[in-house]
Structure formats: structure tokens, C-alpha cells
Structure 1
């Protein structure tokens, strides 16, 4: 039977490993998104993840929706692409998506006027990355 000190030490190590693994996953996702954004047009969410990797899902969704709305007002639609998705079963549905270049995202971010502080920080990061 292990002593209490050994159990505590093992628990500290487990927590540290879990924390480092989560941070590494976030860094890897951001690096992958940044590389993809540099190589060609990508989805708005990919652009946001590339500049703000620690944004939560709700912020990501709200900012991309706001950028799309700004795009409609500016007439920036992005390049159309067709992808096959099977989200809920064996059928592979063809879906139309839009991909944006870095310049288009910079113009969208300039036209995007958020109110919430979190969204303003994301907008500033998008403008700085352009």
C-alpha cells in the first residue's frame, strides 16, 4: 500500500500532465490553423482560431457570425467550396461553404463593430494579424 505522500505526489503529477496536455493541444490547434491560413483561403472560424487560440466556442461562434454579417454589408462573400460531410450517419451530404483570404478577413474585421469586450479583443487580434 502506498503512503499518503506518494499518493499526493502521484496526483500532482497527474494534474500537471493533464494541464500540459491541454495547453499543448491548444497550441497545436492554433499552429495548424495559422499554417492553413497562410497557405490559402479558409473558413472564418479557422482565421479566428489562428489569432485567438484560447477563445471558447460561444465567442468563436458569435464573432464568426458578426464577421459574416459585416461581409454581407460590405459585399464580401468569400470563395465558394463544396465539401462532403457525414455528420449524423452514413450518407455523405454535399454542403456549400465559403472560404476567405487574409485580406478579406482584414476588411471584414475593419467593418465589424462588436460591443462586448471579448469580441473587441478578437477584432483587435484579427486586425493586428493582417
Structure 2
């Protein structure tokens, strides 16, 4: 029978390993996204992930930037993708890819209120 101290120590090691794996996934995602952004037009989500933003706030910030782009009349390059929804048939969608210059233009007039989005805006301006 394992003692309470050894079970507690094992739990701490397990939790630390889990946290390390999660941090490594986030770093890898940011590095991959940054490389892709440098090579050509990408989605707004990819531009935001490339800044190293926390993944739980990426989608909301991308939605805000999309509406800002619509107001400014900035249209990215239209691309057709085939995407699986809920494990069913692959549907064709039209999505838009933005260059770094277009993203900079969108961010110039973006005035977020949430602190998380302000940090994302600052990172996009610096990029």
C-alpha cells in the first residue's frame, strides 16, 4: 500500500507533467502559426495565435477583428475549404485569408475593452 505522501507526490508530478505538455502545445502552436503568417495570407485566428495569445480568448478576438474588417471594407483573399462538421459530410465553406499588412490595417482602428483583447491588440500591433 502506498503512503499518502507518495500518492500526493505522484499527483504533483502528474499535474506538473500535464501542465508542461499543455504549455509545450501552446508554444508549438504559436511557433507554427508565426511561421505560417510569415509565408503568406492566413486566417485572423492564425495571426492571433502567432502572437502567443491564450487559446481560450483567440476566437472572441478573431470575431471582433472580423467585424472590424467588415466595417472598414477590408476583404481578405477568399479561399474555399472542405470542412467536416460533427463528424458528418464535408461541406465546402468560403473563408478569408488576410496578409500581415491587412491585419495591421484592421488592428489600427480596433479599440477593444477587455484586458485580454487589449493585450492581443498590442501584440498584433508589435508584430
The normalised TM-score by structure 1 is 0.88
Where does residue 67 of structure 1 map in the other structure?
Answer: 65
Rounded Cα–Cα distance in structure 2 between residues aligned with 1:4 and 1:71:
56
Between 94-103 and 32-41, the greater mean CA deviation after superposition: 32-41
Where does residue 32 of structure 1 map in the other structure?
Answer: 32
Aligned length: 127
CA contact (8 A) 2:26 2:52 kept: no
CA contact (8 A) 1:48 1:122 kept: yes
CA contact (8 A) 2:51 2:123 kept: yes
Where does residue 42 of structure 1 map in the other structure?
Answer: 42
Where does residue 108 of structure 2 map in the other structure?
Answer: 110
CA contact (8 A) 1:29 1:53 kept: no
Give the secondary-structure state (helix, strand or coil) at the position aligned to 1:22: helix
The normalised TM-score by structure 2 is 0.90
CA contact (8 A) 1:27 1:53 kept: no
**What RMSD over aligned residues (CA atoms) do the two structures have, in Å?**
1.5
> Would the alpha carbon gap of residues 101 and 11 (structure 1) be closer, same or farther in structure 2, given more than 3 Å must change?
same
CA offset digits 1:49-106 (Å, max 9, x no partner): 11133241xx322221221122122221100000001112442211100000111101
> Would the alpha carbon gap of residues 16 and 72 (structure 1) be closer, same or farther in structure 2, given more than 3 Å must change?
same
Give the secondary-structure state (helix, strand or coil) at the position aligned to 2:12: helix
The reply to whether residue 124 of structure 1 matches residue 117 of structure 2 is no
**Structure 1: segments with no counterpart, 5+ residues:** none
**Structure 2: segments with no counterpart, 5+ residues:** none
> Would the alpha carbon gap of residues 123 and 53 (structure 1) be closer, same or farther in structure 2, given more than 3 Å must change?
closer
